[in-house]
Amino acid sequence: DQQVKQNSPSLSVQEGRISILNCDYTNSMFDYFLWYKKYPAEGPTFLISISSIKDKNEDGRFTVFLNKSAKHLSLHIVPSQPGDSAVYFCAASDRTSGSRLTFGEGTQLTVNP
Amino acid sequence: DGGITQSPKYLFRKEGQNVTLSCEQNLNHDAMYWYRQDPGQGLRLIYYSQIVNDFQKGDIAEGYSVSREKKESFPLTVTSAQKNPTAFYLCASGTRISGNTIYFGEGSWLTVV
Q: pLDDT for A8-59, tens place per residue? A: 999 999 999 999 999 999 999 999 999 999 998 899 999 999 999 999 999 9
CA–CA gap between residue B111 and residue B84 (Å, rounded): 10
From chain B, the residues in CB contact with A49 under 8 A are: 99-101
Which of A34, A7, A39 has its CA nearest to residue A23? A7
By C-alpha distance, the chain A residue nearest B38 is A105
Please say whether the beta carbons of A88 and A26 come within 8 A: no
Pairing, β A30-38 against β A86-94: antiparallel
A34 and B50 within 8 Å at the Cβ level: the answer is no
Which of B112, B78, B111 has its CA nearest to residue B9? B111
A101 and B106 within 8 Å at the Cβ level: the answer is no
3-state secondary structure of B21: strand
Burial of A113 from C-beta contacts in 10 A (0-12 / 13-18 / 19+):
exposed
A103 and B42 within 8 Å at the Cβ level: the answer is yes
Interface test with B, best of A7, A21, A101 (most B CBs within 10 A): A101
Q: What confidence score (pLDDT) does residue B98 get?
A: 66
Q: What confidence score (pLDDT) does residue B89 get?
A: 96
From chain B, the residues in CB contact with A4 under 8 A are: 42
By C-alpha distance, the chain B residue nearest A48 is B101
CA–CA gap between residue B68 and residue A75 (Å, rounded): 35
User: Does residue A79 have a cis peptide bond before it, meaning omega lies within 30 degrees of 0?
Assistant: yes
Q: What confidence score (pLDDT) does residue A100 get?
A: 85
B90 and A9 within 8 Å at the Cβ level: the answer is no
A98 and B90 within 8 Å at the Cβ level: the answer is no
Q: What confidence score (pLDDT) does residue B86 get?
A: 93
Burial of B67 from C-beta contacts in 10 A (0-12 / 13-18 / 19+):
middle
Predicted confidence pLDDT, tens digits, chain B (113 residues): 569 999 999 999 888 899 999 999 999 999 999 999 987 778 999 999 999 999 999 999 999 999 999 999 999 999 988 888 999 999 999 987 666 789 999 999 999 88
Interface test with A, best of B60, B101, B103, B108 (most A CBs within 10 A): B101
Please list, residue by residue across B24-39, b when 16 or more beta carbons sit within 10 angstroms of its beta carbon and e when fewer do: bbeeebbbbbbbbbee
By C-alpha distance, the chain B residue nearest A108 is B40
A100 and B105 within 8 Å at the Cβ level: the answer is no
| Mean confidence (pLDDT) of chain A | 94
